[in-house]
Amino acid sequence: MPDVVEDLLGPPWVARTIGLGRRTDGGEEPGAPDVATLVHQEGAGSAPRAVLYLSGFTDYFHQAEHAQAWIDSGYDFYALDVRRTGRSTNGHPRPNDVRDLRVHDEEIGAALELVRGDGHRPVVLLGHSTGGLQAVLWASDHPGSVDAVVLNSPWLDLNAGWVQRVPVTAAVDRLGAWLPSLRIGALEQAYGRYLHVDTGGDWDFDLTLKPHEGFPARAGFIRSVRRAQAEIGRGLDVSVPVLLCCSTRTGDSKDPGPADLSTSDVVLDVAQMISRAPMIGEDVTILQVPGGIHDLALGPEPGREYYTRSAIEWASSKLPAPVPD
């Protein structure tokens, strides 16, 4: 059982470090062994239901307000910083860089084992952006491992035109096999600056773990993402209920103005998410949030509260009754 220590969010949040095998994903071995970090509140295990949260690319769990709403509704909330992200970078020279998204199956499985070990039976898998892509892959590959899936603006396709989505993707697929560490992109800074308290936003997160410019997107990582997105295009088989949540509007991702930043998704394409929803499984509900931004849990009110309340109500209606002790 991993040791429990105080988390960087401060009490009552605590963290458990999950040691991982030295399984590689085609990349170089890190300078220190890969680890993952499971974050939850002290005393978790008393609620009958649980949520396991997966963050996005260049992100880490800091959405404590959203988590508290789940906790206040009778859930224990767990968040997983997967290897080489957030709390789990552990000295890796290229944070967020993996060559196969399914390398994260090891830590997702270990985290679910710890959640179940705390006494939880119904479990919701909640994923944001890349974490949403990861969540549907896991749920499709591991039927019965979770009881419902909630997606917060999942990255189901590339927010780009045909040239980048088809011929450039084919080129990156070849390039990623030969030069996986090659930098081929990075995030725009406007969205991160809009969120952070130091630049006029509402949220105080650690800029060393979630920098405005993001960490470099490398060819091997993008190759894995595009291959996973192609799997969705061919159709997954997620057997549990899925709630796909997104904004009502796609904003300008290159040069977003104040209205785009505060009322739309300036990272991903809303229409792509909606069009791909039926490819996830047979029971997929779409929730569009008026005024929602890319991370719906960090958007302005009333959209933020609407998303949070709707997701909790949906999950509570879909989950099986808790198993008594």
For strands 242-247 and 284-289, give the pairing: parallel
pLDDT at 291 over 60: yes
76-91 confidence digits (pLDDT tens): 999 999 999 999 987 7
pTM: 0.95
What one-letter code names the amino acid at 10?
Answer: G
What local confidence, expressed as pLDDT, does residue 24 receive? 61
| Averaged pLDDT of the chain | 93
Residue 314, SS3 per DSSP: helix
Quick one: 4-156+237-318 is in which CATH superfamily?
Alpha/Beta hydrolase fold, catalytic domain (3.40.50.1820)
Give the DSSP H/E element, type plus range, for residue 274.
Answer: helix 270-276
Where exactly are the structural domains of the chain? Answer: 4-156+237-318
What local confidence, expressed as pLDDT, does residue 28 receive? 58
138-156 confidence digits (pLDDT tens): 999 999 999 999 999 999 9
Residue 183, SS3 per DSSP: strand
What local confidence, expressed as pLDDT, does residue 3 receive? 83
Strands annotated E in the chain:
4-6, 13-19, 35-41, 49-54, 75-81, 123-128, 148-152, 183-185, 217-218, 242-247, 284-289
Are the CB atoms for 240 and 203 separated by under 8 Å? no
Burial class (CB in 10 A: 0-12, 13-18, 19+), 202: middle
